[in-house]
């Protein structure tokens, strides 16, 4: 997991500490959203109405 974060952080090419912090926050947010999606959180928290239901 750390290697993934380091790789993604390097892709941002941040200039300063604040940009690097913001990039890190964005990466962690993406990871958390993916984990929530994978766990089925969004099906329970905000189920989408499908046509015909």
Averaged pLDDT, groups of 10, the chain, 53 residues long: 90 92 95 95 82 64
Would you state the pLDDT for residue 29?
97
Contact of 48 with 37, CB cutoff 8 Å = no
Which segments of the chain does DSSP mark as H helices, in order?
Answer: 2-12, 17-38, 41-45
Would you state the pLDDT for residue 26?
96
Would you state the pLDDT for residue 53?
57
Contact of 6 with 28, CB cutoff 8 Å = no
Would you state the pLDDT for residue 45?
86
């Amino acid at each position: 997991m750390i290697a993934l974060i380091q790789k993604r952080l390097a892709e941002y090419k941040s200039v300063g500490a604040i940009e690097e912090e913001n990039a890190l926050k964005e990466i962690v947010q993406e990871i958390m959203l993916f984990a929530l999606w994978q766990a089925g959180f969004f099906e329970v928290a905000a189920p989408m109405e499908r046509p015909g239901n």
